[in-house]
Structure 1
Amino acid sequence: AEKPYKCSICNYSGKSSKVLKLHMRIHLDGKPFKCIECNFSCKTAGHLKVHKVYVHSDEKPYKCCECGYSCKTPGDLKKHELTHSFDKPYKCAECNFSCFKRNSLRTHQKIHTGEKPYKCNECSFSCIQSGTLNRHVRTHTGEKPFKCDKCNVSTRHYGELKKHMLIHTGEKPYQCSECDYGCRSSAGFLRHMQKHR
């Protein structure tokens, strides 16, 4: 896709004047992105988003694929993942799972026992971790705690907000290697790839 709108300060280019205007904010001396819940302000929407998740939310969107540990930032996940490169003294008696922390083993063992201590008061849903229950409860309450700082959209999950933000940044993370097509969703990308078969 053609990106005729070029930044005069760096080599960024965008497809519309609106997208370029959003980009230009990063070059401002001030900190135009302000948190509505506290006095924090920063230069980019990305930094504000990390602040909101880390400080004002109990959502933990970053998950370890080895043990189920979840956390608020990619940096925390990276630190946690280092624990898997050391000795893992806590070993599951039922399978080959081993981990660094006793609590992680306890959480894992619930898979084998079928124990799901976190129960929803509204329906029969139950689960192993409190974070999963918190996300589920929002399906009943309709609560949408993740708010876009560029428009009036709000979402139930951090991942949904992340996808929505691509509309404002103009970013298209799914890029075709066969042609110059790019899009925001995996579904759209898969539909496009059918054309090359």
Structure 2
Amino acid sequence: MLTHTGEKKYECTECDASFKLSSSLKRHMLTHTGEKKHACNECSAMFSRSGDLKRHMLTHTGEKKHACNECSAMFSRSGELKRHMSTHTREKKYECTECDAILKLSSYLRRHMLTHTGEKMHLCNECGTKFLRSGDLKQHMLTHTGEKKHACNECGARFLRLCHLKQHMLTHTGEKKHACNECGARFLRPGHLKQHMLTHTGEKKYECTECDASFKLSSNLKQHMLTHTGEKKHACNECGARFLRSVHLKRHMSTHTGKKKYPGRVIPKTLKLAI
């Protein structure tokens, strides 16, 4: 009947809050006393409410009792199921005031708005780099910790990112799913296909700011720029000689190791005389 009358006769003595039920008042009082009497038997976590403890226990049991009626997805919490259901209904009710984008969730809209404001609020404590998203910061932190948690089951190689592991797995399966529409050539990675397509289009979009040279690949432009800056970043550990390119260093290293580039090859007499 209280839902009809709206009467809230249970008043908090600490603040102005009032409640319809005494049980609601008891739960509220915990926010003032700070009492956490609901303990987790698996770890030392304590909670003010029994409902909070029940939700916490799911992190130990892994129980997912909230099922999606549209697909086989299962979730630990009802809120997660509601968010998932929007992927089926395609409901998009959060509109961006800057552009025509419409997002499913308010959290998606908040992240989207950062693309307009340019605000990077996720800061790396190691180097000071800022990121738009927390996920980007987490990936970046791996470059500091060096943790490579994605392992290949075939050869044991480990990688910082899952996408790198997926690319590596193609070297075992040999699958080349990226096909050229012009000549039918197939490639392991989409980047390799993009580079290959330049052989058909002949486009050289990477231009040198110092001279009129232009290149198909950004890596070729970077190498070319060294001819202007004179930077020789490839150093020999044996004698300290420095080179513009890594291939020049490799050739130089053979002068220390004595390793012949073409072992076992017989040099013609005429070539010997020319040498």
Structure-2-length-normalised TM-score: 0.38
Give a deviation string over 1:68-87, Cα, whole Å, max 9, x none.
Answer: xxxxxxxxxxx97766x43x
Q: Which residue of 2 aligns with 1:184?
A: 104
- What is residue 141 of structure 2 aligned with on the other side? none
What does 1:73-112 correspond to in 2, within 5 Å? Answer: 85-86=6-7, 88-112=8-32
**1:122 is aligned to 2:31:** no
Question: Match of 1:147?
Answer: 67
Q: Which moved more, 1:126-135 or 1:187-196?
A: 187-196
User: Deviation at 1:150?
Assistant: 1.7
The CA deviation at 1:196 is 4.5
Shift of 1:146: 0.8
Q: CA deviation at 1:97?
A: 2.1
Matching of residues 164-179 of structure 1 within 5 Å: 164-179=84-99
Report the Cα offset of residue 134 of structure 1.
1.0
Question: What secondary structure, in the 3-state scheme, does the structure 2 residue paired with 1:96 have?
Answer: coil
Displacement after TM superposition at 1:96 (Å): 2.1
Change (3 A) 1:139 1:101: same
Give the secondary-structure state (helix, strand or coil) at the position aligned to 2:55: helix
Displacement, 1:123?
A: 1.1
* TM-score normalized by the length of structure 1: 0.51
- 1:132 is aligned, of 52, 70, 75, to 52
User: What's the CA shift for 1:102?
Assistant: 1.8
Could you list the structure 1 runs, at least 4 aligned residues long, displaced by more than 6 angstroms after superposition: 79-83
Q: Could you say if the C-alpha distance between residues 82 and 131 of structure 1 is closer, same or farther in structure 2, counting changes exceeding 3 Å?
A: farther
SS at match of 1:104: helix
Q: Which runs of 5+ in 1 are unaligned?
A: 1-78
- How many correspondences in the alignment? 117
Q: Evaluate the alpha carbon distance shift between residue 90 and residue 187 of structure 1 in structure 2; reply closer, same or farther with a 3 A threshold.
A: closer
CA distance in 1, matches of 2:85, 2:45: 30
Change (3 A) 1:132 1:167: same
- The aligned counterpart of 1:193 is 113
- 2:33 is matched with which residue? 113
Structure 1 residues 143 and 186: alpha-carbon distance in aligned structure 2, compared to 1, 3 A threshold: same
Instruction: Using the TM superposition, give the Cα deviation of residue 184 of structure 1 relative to its aligned residue in structure 2, in angstroms.
Output: 2.1
Which 5+ residue runs of structure 2 have no aligned equivalent? Answer: 118-275
**Alignment deviations for residues 58-107 of structure 1 (CA, whole Å, 9 cap, x no partner):** xxxxxxxxxxxxxxxxxxxxx97766x43x32222222222222222222
Letter of the structure 2 residue corresponding to residue 144 of structure 1: K
Q: CA RMSD in A?
A: 2.4
The 3 A distance-change label for structure 1 pair 113 and 186 is same
For the 8 Å contact 2:2–2:20, the answer to whether it is kept is no
1:50 match: none
